[in-house]
Structure 1
Amino acid sequence: MLGQGRMAVAGIAGESAHVAGRAASPPANAATYTPAAGIAIDPHSGGGVTTRREKFLPVTRAALLKRLSAPANWPAGEAAHVLRFMRYLDFWRRHDYTARLLDLEQAYDAFAPDSDLKVTRTYTPAEREILKKRVVGQMAQLLEQGNFTRVDPKDVHLILTEDSHYGLDLQVDLDAFEEALIYFRGATTITERRRDIKRAYMGWKEVQVPVFQRLFLLFKLKPFDERVKEVALKHGLTIRQAEKAVRRARALLPKTVTSDHIYMKLFKNIPRSDVEMIFPNTRVRFRRWDKIRFGVSAGGGVGIGIFGTATKIAVMSNPVTLLTAIGALGGVVLRQVTNFFAQRNRYMVVMAQNLYFHSMADNRGVITLLGSRAAEEDIKEEILLYAALAQGRMRASDIGEIDAKIERWLKETFAIDVDFDVSDALGRLKAEGIVRETDDGWLETLPPEAAARHIDMLWDRALDDLSDTINDEGTETAPQESEPAAL
């Protein structure tokens, strides 16, 4: 387990270690929550992200429960209490996240683009601003508790690339968004089979493709008038010209996509070189090779057509010959134009197909899925730390060594190299009363049976401790005369 034989970590002694991590508990006011700093390395770099250890624990909760509660690692009769406590803690943590999601979903009602519920509440601009900040802040909390890593949209060079895994040249206008959150988890590589150019495309070869196993995007468009003013100021245009430019830029979006809504998307196995593909306003541009190919073929075809037409006109003997020559030239031009649009449509189909198979969830579905994943990450961290601390009293100054010991155990047991978030897990166990730090710096952990009873007590008090204060922005619309005022 987390040591030789039984998890003998109680005897750890050593130098104090500084442990960095997230806040032990989320801020009380999510509207003032500041997302973690974005990564300072290029996520498109195959080496930079792969060698960077993530906090994400890529093992199942069941796998950890099975190993951490194995009878061989605990005194006789203790393993059953360990398993019971860990399961109690699992349910308790999920209850905690359910309460958070209720508040988040209520705030999101003001921005949900695909709700099938009757709208009965109106919001002032100030209330919408409060709710927007709450949604963005709480989503950032969920993602960071789920051990996602943030990419700062301001670092445009980290997002926009010239090379595309799918052979597309993509362009995104990030200034069009009022809010944008980008997070990834699981930067790794997958193996794909491709036609081998060395075998004249008759054979196959395996290639390693750097991907993000999970990629999250939240965005809200800027209001039309605000965006028009920005474009006019930035490019020195008149308001009328700026309006045309903004309308043209948003022409790719469905008419239902407006600045009134907040959109969320979760993708899987997105190639790191194609992050641009997930944005709604992505434009597909022709690659340099396509431009050269179209230029040569179109220029040559049209040039020959013009030369032939001019020659026939010069020796024109009757009108039929003239019409035939002009028709032939028109056919050449039409063919080149058709080829141009056909190639562009092929690119759009490639992008749409790949997004379809990479998409996992949208909007409210993303909230539910991420809430579950965040709860799972928390419980995995907590039971790992509890298994190490429950062996006896130890000093808080030794927590860094416990962190390293847990990381070694994960590497030896599951062959995974992670950055275990010990301070976050310790903060939650303290908050729940499972672990207590004494005045002289010792960490005291409840034994498994007592810890299970403690969680049972928390469950008994859950409804009694439920706050009567709820977030209540907005005003319910007055009922129509035909509607009953009360049941």
Structure 2
Amino acid sequence: MTAERFIPFTKQDVIALCAEDVSKNTLYDIDAFSQVSQILSSVLHFQYHDLLENLKRSYAPFDPNSDTRQLATLTENELAEHQAQFAKDFEKVLTAANFEKITEADIQAALTEESLFKVRLEVAFDDFDEIVFYRRGESQKTEILQQFFGLKKKPLTFTNYDRVAVYIKFKGKEHFANKALPAGFEPGATVIKLFQNVPKADLEMLFPNSEIRMRPIDKVIIGASAIVGGAVVLITKLGASLILLATLFAFWIGMSDESVEMNQKQLIALALGFGVFGSFIFKEWSKFKNRKIKFMKALTDNLYYKNLDNNAGVFHTLVNEAEEEDFKEALLAYSFLLKHPEGLTEQALDNEIEAWFDSQYQCTLDFEVDDALQKLEAMKLVTKSSNTHPGTNLDTNPDNALGTNMATHTVTYNAVELSVAKKTLDHYWDNIFQY
């Protein structure tokens, strides 16, 4: 299992953990650290507010839940521009929130892997113009599945995703000219959903056009029941009548010279027999429909508890999570640099933060140190210096001067003091608008 970029602690917890770590050094004022944290959070919140407004603006023309009116009708090209801009910004938010893209191979594998809940689904992929799945938080879980009416229990280990974001765009009117769309959708519609605790093998249930199909075992159970029951009905209720009909038919087509007469009693028995057989067929058909309804209920119940948000609500949630992830990364990097006045290289900082989480909180992270340092550099909360180290001549040939004393360069990062950081962030905040 690969390490996750997501930091599984709340923003408030990370502030408390960093403050506690920094407070162990008597050189630093814990109140000043809290003030730096507060204004850093405000600066990042403003930056993400701008991104949120862009997402709302580009999504508005095709928001299915909108209760506002459009002042002007957009052309096809303008709608396409809005769609492209939204897709670009939405991907940016997902990346910042430390979501990973689910590959097409993973989606195809989900259609063939053993499902956790007993339903087989089919998806018409040709209905979509674009399909993008993202996930965050991957773990291995084990559930006990009951088989043979609970007489046998089988453990099933599966890959589980803590969060799954879905972005799907349906094809246009031409594609659905002779084909029905799922209820509640229109041609060209954009579907955005956020789910929790989704088994990798059940990704297909997140598609809006997934249809329930009987599993082979379900077909065998229903088919065997129908064959046995049908045979019993034919023998007990229609046996004598069918023999009489066969004899009559043979006489009509000239295969038998013996004439057959049917009296009223026989006709009534024949009608009753066919009535019983018809009711049996209806019963078996109802059994099939009820089983399908049961499966649909299982699917609906499953999605009810897994669905977190839909459409515009999804990117509102994700922008908040992206903002918090950026804040946690920046604060962690700044805090650990504070503890090392001599400075740290990017790799050393990355290793120390990951080791700290692993040893102190048994949490395996792939910390995004480059992203954190870029934010701190942009807000002038760190300085960096380049150091040149002379190389070692390992070549004993005096005539070979090329590459014999190759120097190495390292970049060291230092955190600015808390008092300077407060003034720097305050100046940044005061100059966001210059009117």
TM superposition score category, shorter chain reference = 0.7 to 0.9
What RMSD over aligned residues (CA atoms) do the two structures have, in Å?
Answer: 2.4
- Structure 1 equivalent of residue 417 of structure 2: 447
Which consecutive residues of structure 1, in runs of 5 or more, have no partner in the other structure?
1-50, 229-242, 466-487
Counterpart AA for 2:306: H
- Structure 2 equivalent of residue 59 of structure 1: 9
- Structure 1 equivalent of residue 202 of structure 2: 274
Which consecutive residues of structure 2, in runs of 5 or more, have no partner in the other structure?
245-261, 388-410
User: Structure 1 CA distance, aligned partners of 2:74 and 2:414?
Assistant: 49
- Structure 1 equivalent of residue 343 of structure 2: 394
State how many pairs are aligned: 390
Q: 3-state SS of the aligned residue for 1:216?
A: strand
* Candidates 326, 329, 354, aligned match of 1:407: 354
User: Structure 2 CA distance, aligned partners of 1:130 and 1:284?
Assistant: 36
User: Cα distance, 1:128 vs. partner?
Assistant: 1.1
- Structure 2 equivalent of residue 26 of structure 1: none
- Superposed CA deviations along residues 209-251 of structure 1, whole A, max 9, x for unmatched, are 54211111011101131x36xxxxxxxxxxxxxx54x33xx3x
* Candidates 156, 168, 172, aligned match of 1:223: 172
- Structure 2 equivalent of residue 346 of structure 1: 294
User: Cα distance, 1:65 vs. partner?
Assistant: 1.1
- 8 Å Cα contact 2:107/2:204 also seen in 1: no
Q: 3-state SS of the aligned residue for 1:224?
A: coil
Residue 300 in structure 1 maps to residue 228 in structure 2: yes
- Superposed CA deviations along residues 373-393 of structure 1, whole A, max 9, x for unmatched, are 111111111111111222324
Cα 1:196–1:348 change in 2 (3 A) is: closer
Cα 1:400–1:77 change in 2 (3 A) is: closer
User: Cα distance, 1:206 vs. partner?
Assistant: 8.3
- 8 Å Cα contact 2:123/2:210 also seen in 1: yes
* TM-score, length basis structure 2: 0.83
- 8 Å Cα contact 1:169/1:284 also seen in 2: yes
Cα 1:129–1:219 change in 2 (3 A) is: same
User: Structure 1 CA distance, aligned partners of 2:351 and 2:218?
Assistant: 52
- Structure 2 equivalent of residue 383 of structure 1: 331
- Structure 2 equivalent of residue 321 of structure 1: 269
* TM-score, length basis structure 1: 0.75
| Aligned pairs for 1:32-51 within 5 A | 51=1
* Candidates 366, 371, 383, aligned match of 2:319: 371
Cα 1:259–1:463 change in 2 (3 A) is: farther
- 8 Å Cα contact 1:69/1:80 also seen in 2: no
User: Cα distance, 1:306 vs. partner?
Assistant: 3.7
Runs of 4+ in structure 1 off by over 6 angstroms are 196-199, 204-207
Q: 3-state SS of the aligned residue for 2:104?
A: coil
User: Structure 1 CA distance, aligned partners of 2:348 and 2:414?
Assistant: 17
Residue 211 in structure 1 maps to residue 160 in structure 2: yes
* Candidates 420, 427, 447, aligned match of 2:374: 427
Largest Rg, 1 or 2? 2
Percent sequence identity is: 25
User: Structure 2 CA distance, aligned partners of 1:455 and 1:289?
Assistant: 65
Q: 3-state SS of the aligned residue for 2:61?
A: coil
Counterpart AA for 2:74: Y
- Superposed CA deviations along residues 312-369 of structure 1, whole A, max 9, x for unmatched, are 2435652211110110110111111111111111111110111011111111111110
Higher relative contact order (CA 8 A, sep 6+): 1
Q: 3-state SS of the aligned residue for 1:449?
A: helix
Cα 1:157–1:193 change in 2 (3 A) is: closer
User: Cα distance, 1:193 vs. partner?
Assistant: 6.6
- 8 Å Cα contact 1:178/1:220 also seen in 2: yes
Cα 1:269–1:461 change in 2 (3 A) is: same
User: Structure 2 CA distance, aligned partners of 1:265 and 1:450?
Assistant: 43
Cα 1:208–1:313 change in 2 (3 A) is: closer
